[in-house]
Amino acid sequence: MATVGLYGIAFGLVDNTQKIIADATNGLGTDGVYEVGRADLGGKTANITGLSAAPVKIYGFNQVQDVTMPTSEPSVALDINDLNFQVKQQIKGFVSDGKGGYVDENLKAHVALLITAQTIDRQHFVYYGFGDGILTETAANIQTDNNAEQRTDDALTYTALSTIAFNNQPYKIYSDLDPKFDKANMYKEVFGGYVLPASSTGSGTTTPAGSTATSGH
């Protein structure tokens, strides 16, 4: 099954029990889920690696007799054009000084992530869900303008952790190609108990109603 394009990226802060933090101050809005949208100029890439680990060969009597499969260790390289400034600091776990400054105090935020792509006929959707992980920003390559504008995108790396709702696996794939697909259940699993509004239960990624963390950059 092939996919085409990047259709959506959504974040949610989760607590130490992997439940969504639905709070305008401590979370990413009153419902807890922030979807990257037009205000952020959308996302460019979500490069997912480490979905499967290389098998380890087991030798016996000078032959390969078996293989063992190490646990997968996914990571996602995200490139977003203009992510909301406050949201970006929150999902990195930076601490506000209450005066417009943010400090890295090594208190990493735990973040749920949902990435949406489309099938090549653009009639269906494929979702990669990560119920818990850490986001880091390792560099910012700031350059002078010349005869062209030199933009520095928001480049973040997501390291997935085990998720209780996924039987302690680090990720889960969903698609409405499966006739039993339940979008509300997907959001509940990925975003730690989140209740998807009834108006958003169709296929695709819809900005959750009541998301209040979308204003300003």
Question: Between the CA of residue 35 and those of 45, 75, 77, 128, 204, what are the distances in Å?
Answer: 15, 19, 17, 14, 12
Number of domains composing the chain: 1
- pLDDT tens by residue, 170-192: 999 999 999 999 999 999 999 99
What does the block give as tokens for 144?
A: 């002078």
- Residues 6 or more apart in contact with residue 29 via CB below 8 angstroms: 22, 210, 211, 212, 213, 214
Mean pLDDT of the chain: 92
Structural domain for 69, as ranges: 3-141+149-191
206 lies in some domain: no
Report if residue 201 sits inside a domain. no
Give the model confidence (pLDDT) of 37-66 as tens digits: 999 999 999 999 999 989 999 999 999 999
110: Cβ–Cβ under 8 A, 6 or more apart, which residues?
Answer: 13, 14, 15, 16, 18, 132, 133, 134, 161
Q: Could you tell me if residue 119 is inside a domain?
A: yes
Judge whether residue 80 has pLDDT over 70: yes
Residue 200 counted as domain residue: no
pTM exceeds 0.85 for this model: yes
Give the bridge partners for 14, in sequence order: 20
Residue 213 confidence (pLDDT) above 90: no
Q: Is residue 131 part of a domain?
A: yes
Q: Is residue 123 part of a domain?
A: yes
Q: Per the domain annotation, does 8 fall within a domain?
A: yes
> What confidence tens digit (pLDDT) does each residue in 134-172 have?
999 999 988 999 999 999 999 999 999 999 999 999 999
Domain presence at residue 38: yes
The residue-averaged pLDDT of 67-71 equals 90
> How many Cα neighbours within 13 Å face the side chain of 4?
6
